[in-house]
Chains A and B, each alone.
Chain A
Amino acid sequence: MDIRDILGKRRLFLDGGTGTSLQKMGLRAGERPEVWNILHPDRIEALHRAYLNAGADIIYTNTFGANRLKYPEGGDHSLEEVVKSAVNIAKGAQKACGREDSSWVALDIGPSGKLLRPLGDLDFEDAVELFAEVVRYGAEAGADLIVIETMGDSYELKAAVLAAKENSVLPIIATAAFDERARLLTGGTPEAVTALLEGLRVDALGLNCGLGPREMLPIAERFAAAASIPVAAAPNAGLPRQVEGRMVFDLSPEGFAEQMEAVARAGAQLLGGCCGTTPEHIAALVGRCRELPFAEPVRKHRTVVSSFSTAVELGTGPVIVGERINPTGKPRLKEALRSGKLEYLLSEGAAQEDAGAQILDVNVGLPGVDEPAMLERAVCALQGVTGLPLQLDSSDPAALERAMRRYNGKPMINSVSAKAESMAAVFPLIRKYGGVVVGLALDEGGIPETPEGRVACAERIYSTAAEYGIAHEDVVIDTLTLTVSSEPRAAQVTLEALRRIHERGGRTTLGVSNVSFGLPAREKVNSAFLTLALEAGLDCAIMNPLSAAMMSAWRAFAVLTARDERCEDYIAHEAGAEPKPQAAAGPLSLGGCIEKGLSSAASAEAQRLVAGGAEPLDIINAELIPALDRVGKGFETGAIYLPQLLMSAEAAGAAFEALKAGMKEDKGSGYPGKIVIATVKGDIHDIGKNIVRTLLENYGFDVRDLGKDVPPEAVLDAASQEGVRLVGLSALMTTTVASMEETIRLLRERLPGVKIMVGGAVLTEDYARQIGADFYGKDAMASVRYAREVCS
């Protein structure tokens, strides 16, 4: 019988602990349990039989840690043999118990034991392949379903689910391990995990390990409240305690069953155990919970997008989608995208988050930029600095697919339209990777001029989405903001269409700012339009959260619709909103501000000087550079310490930004040159390299920072592409100095004219020479001095 026919129709029991049970049979700490599939198949089968006899419906194969990392090619046991024998043993146990038709063998997949990039060094696609191999062996051996369990990281969870879907047609149950704060090891909440897994269309989801049933109960409740599909709960035999330096789980079978009854009543449809639970625990669980009333999962119809850490629900109150990561009309962002330097993009993201954005739109489409590659890169980089869900914004399905695959969570997708071609390209992606999709109310005939026409487009999008299995709630309709200055009734049509979609229970979104195009004082029109749209039922306002006028309108609306009880949010933001006098730099000169490390004062003073008619270049030469030199000298003589040196550099950077506005396009004759820097392959500690970059930039160098964990070839490519005279490399440990040496060797071979400076904790002058570097920078200032020498 296909388990899909039963999932959610009746209560199913899972088995209990495997690793802890094998330890009782003599498995040593640190020994790989899966090896016992080869060495002691009898013991594994006996455990399976005990669980089946206890009443388990689904037994997990002994393959939790079976992957290529732990069973490398040429090792003592072949991965294929380990996995296939595990499935065969489980099937043998079914037969021995006469349960071939009344139980199921689940191929068990646990975490890889590695952290994915950027937190660790396992690439996402490598993780997918790691799991894919196990899935292929398990499916070949005849597993009935796949259980992905004990995942502590949503990204790895996604990799495993994708691997399962791409390499088999088996049903998938995916459960994650939460701690007492109801968070994954890498931060995800039950709601975020639910959004991710439902988006990936698993068959059941939930939680296991980490906690005992009592501690798990509130988290299981949250899963049951969020999920529309069956929920599984498999806790440990109580909260693990360290006794005498050993981990013990000491909840008795009866105690376990009693606490599990509450979990069952909270809405978990699949019940089992994890560490410390035994066949006795499962027997007690089955005895106590078998006859409890069963409630099928209920469709929740919630519209949820998520990141690795948080979920945002649409439809429970309007949310702000920050619009600023979009190159249209933004020369600085265009420049950033063309040069591949994403810092500016990241700072725009963080600034919008700080200003109140709940989702960030990401659009990197620009002629001359490889959009699929750039969108993927931007999404990964943004997820390194913000936990906000992202709205992937592109008209290129190839760009969407690459970014959706890599995205950690359930993204918002901008957009699809009612054009058949658009839907045929985008809906399969939503179906595969999950997402909430923005549906533009336009079709082959263009943008309908009437509300009826736009609603008709929306209906076509909804019905076609349904054909792909995409739920109504996963579509958000954009009724399209047009410019009022060219079509007087434009706003009225947009709002009327919006109102109708809203009244039919649909979710809505609008890019608010277009409405005022061509008018003066645009924010006034935009904020009034925002208020009208919110009143008409707008769920997602794509807008600029850095605009005070827009945010004031937003907060005022919250007050007037009783969403901001006691007006606290409004008062907190608006009470101090009278224009402040320009931050006075006091008696400090620009140089003084820089020396003291006062960024905003330095910026204000620079602006004041420019306003007073001074030439930016003169200010740089007369104030900025000398101040930096004084601080640099102070650092070298030991009078000034690193934090102050860096703060001064940041203040100089802020002043430079203020001056740049008044400068001509060319960077001046004092422009010293371009440098490529990188933290070498294998090394994820890059703070030293980042400090060097900051200082180099403040001395006017154009620094191409390749980041951390950079392969030698990438350094070579960048160095030859940029035609630099100097490359800087950092490595923290002896293990990574080896890849530094390799990088140097490659550079020497291919770019003999390039100078190489190195730095890092384990390096010394001698060591640096030994690996072939030209210069060892003992600290950041020394690197600056050398760079000036080389590039002068």
Chain B
Amino acid sequence: MSAGTPNWREIFRYLGYNNGARPEGAVLEMIERAEAAVRGMAEAKSVYQRFPLVFHGDGAVEIGDIRIESAALRRNLEGCAGAFLLAATLGADVDRLISRLTALGHVSEAAAAQAAAAALIEDVCDEAGESMRKIAAARGLKLRPRFSPGYGDFSIEHQRDIARVLDTARRIGLTVTDSLMLAPMKSVTAVIGLSETTGCPDGKCEACAKTDCDFRRL
């Protein structure tokens, strides 16, 4: 069970509504039903930990024992003294819910549940971000935008490193498949830089090179 208000704008956007269009009538009711089901099944868990950060001369960044070669991540972390690693998941029951809806032929509701879950995991990350912000603020530090493996040239290979270092399988039940997918599916891993300045040109979504993505945040 997860509290809070659904981020309807995001949910509609994930479902393809653009230019301010909104669903109505039976479609809206269906989406609301799916959202409520996701919220009822979600068992949101997150874990984060602070690690030292080293910038190597060859361009690589090292967070804890993870060595990452990514210009985009390096730009995101420029000027940072340390970084949080974050992992969050909605748990296995949301995956089961979506499978069940699909297996029973309710594909519209499965798609809506998928969108609602995507919006909800964002909220879970934002909540964890709020706790991290407070920890940082106590030391006069600020958080950089969340940066996940898969953004730009930050390889998704590193999902496995983040899962290992945070011991996510044990602590929140989050695992990484051989093909580098997160399981349960509605999960996130990310790096969040800590610095004295807010100044960061890179956003989250906006930093991605895939400019033709339908879900790009503008």
Q: Is A596 an interface residue (CB 8 A)?
A: yes
Cβ-defined partner of A650 (8 Å) among B91, B105, B175: B105
B154 interface contact, C-beta 8 A: no
**B interface residue count range (under 10 / 10 to 19 / 20 to 34 / 35 or more):** 35 or more
Q: Are A114 and B91 in contact (CB under 8 A)?
A: no
Q: Does B164 sit within 8 A of A, measured CB to CB?
A: yes
Q: Assuming A118-B99, A381-B103, A641-B16, is B65 touching A647 (CB within 8 A)? A: no
- The answer to the question of B84 belonging to the interface, with a C-beta cut-off of 8 Å to chain A, is yes
Is A386 interfacial (CB-CB < 8 Å)?
Answer: yes
Q: How far is the CA of A646 from the CA of B104 in the complex (A)?
A: 14
CB < 8 Å neighbour of A685 from B25, B50, B185:
B185
**Which of A120, A653, A682, A736 neighbours the largest number of chain B CB atoms within 10 Å of its CB?**
A120
6 residue pairs, one from A and one from B, having the closest CB atoms: A682-B179, A185-B173, A646-B108, A30-B165, A245-B50, A120-B183
Known: A245-B50, A687-B111. A641 touches B15 (CB 8 A): yes
Given contacts A29-B64, A209-B170, contact A684 B177 (CB under 8 A): yes
Question: Which of these, B27, B95, B181, B184, contacts A597 with CB under 8 Å?
Answer: B27
Q: Of A186, A343, A694, which is within 8 A of B92 by CB? A: A186
A115 with B49, Cβ < 8 A, contacts A647-B26, A650-B108 known: no
Interface centre among B17, B100, B107 (most CB of A within 10 A): B107
A–B Cβ pairs within 8 angstroms, 8 of them: A179-B43, A245-B49, A247-B49, A384-B99, A385-B99, A642-B15, A643-B112, A732-B181
B: residues with CB less than 8 A from A are: 15-17, 21, 23, 25-27, 30-31, 43, 47-51, 64-66, 84, 91-93, 95-96, 98-100, 102-108, 110-112, 114, 131-132, 135, 150, 156, 161, 164-167, 169-173, 175, 177-181, 183-185, 212
A92-120, CB under 8 A of B: which get 1 and which 0? 00000000000000000011011100111
CA–CA, A346 and B101, complex, Å = 11
- Interface members, chain A 370-406 (any B CB < 8 Å): 381, 384-387
Residues of A101-143 at the interface with B, using a CB-CB cut-off of 8 Å, are 110-111, 113-115, 118-121
A691 at the interface (CB under 8 A from B): yes
CB pair A647 B156 closer than 8 Å: no
A578 at the interface (CB under 8 A from B): no
Give Cα distance in the complex from A346 to B96, angstroms: 13
The 8 A CB mask of A172-190 against B (1 = contact, 0 = none) is 0000010101010111000
Contact B30 A242 (CB under 8 A): no
Interface residues of A (CB under 8 A from B): 28-31, 110-111, 113-115, 118-121, 150, 152-153, 177, 179, 181, 183, 185-187, 209, 242, 244-247, 343, 346-347, 350, 381, 384-387, 596-598, 641-644, 646-647, 649-650, 653, 681-687, 690-691, 693-694, 732-736, 739, 764
Please, which residue of chain B has its CB at the minimum distance from the CB of A354?
A: B104
A119 contacts B92, C-beta separation under 8 Å? yes
Task: Give the distance in Å from the alpha carbon of A209 to the alpha carbon of B169 in the complex.
Answer: 13
Q: Is the CB of A682 within 8 A of B177?
A: yes
CB atoms of A644 and B184 under 8 A apart: no
Contact B175 A115 (CB under 8 A): yes
* Pairwise interchain contact A245-B100, C-beta atoms closer than 8 A: no
B108 near A244 with CB under 8 A, answer: no
Which A residues are in CB contact (< 8 Å) with B96?
A: 119, 384-385, 387
Measured CB to CB, the nearest residue on chain A to B14 is A642
The residue in B135, B178, B179 that gathers the most chain A C-beta atoms within 10 A of its C-beta is B179
Contacts of A118 in B (CB 8 A): 99
Q: Hey, which chain A residues are within 8 Å of B66, CB to CB?
A: 30
* A153 to B184 CA separation, bound complex (whole angstroms): 12
Known: A343-B105, A385-B100. A684 touches B27 (CB 8 A): no
What residues of chain B lie closer than 8 Å to A242, measured between beta carbons?
47-49, 131
Q: Which residues of B contact A646 (CB under 8 A)?
A: 107-108, 111
CB distance from B169 to the nearest CB of A (A): 4
Judge whether B92 and A185 touch: CB under 8 Å.
yes
Partner of B111, one of A181, A385, A691, A764: A691
Contact of A684 with B185 in the complex, beta carbons under 8 Å: yes
Closest chain-A Cβ to B214's Cβ sits at a distance in Å of 9
User: How far is the CB of A45 from the nearest CB of chain B, in Å?
Assistant: 24
Flag if A596 contacts B26 (CB, 8 Å). Answer: yes
Minimal Cβ-Cβ distance residue in A for B106: A650
User: Which residues of A have CB within 8 Å of B49?
Assistant: 29, 242, 245-247
The answer to whether A347 and B132 touch (CB under 8 A), given A111-B169, A647-B27, A733-B180, is: no
**Least CB distance, A668 to chain B, in whole angstroms:** 22
Nearest B residue to A113 via CB reads B169
* Complexed CA–CA distance, A684 and B114 (Å): 13
Q: Determine whether the beta carbon of A643 is less than 8 Å from that of B177.
A: no
Given contact pairs A343-B105, A641-B23, A683 touches B181 in the complex (Cβ within 8 A): yes
Q: Is the CB of B23 within 8 A of A643?
A: yes
Q: How far is the CB of A100 from chain B (nearest CB, A)?
A: 32
CB distance from A89 to the nearest CB of B (A): 23
- Determine whether the beta carbon of B50 is less than 8 Å from that of A244: yes
Residue on A nearest B86 in the bound complex, by CB: A245
Chain A residues near B98: list those with CB within 8 A: 687
Which B residue's beta carbon lies closest to that of A654?
Answer: B105
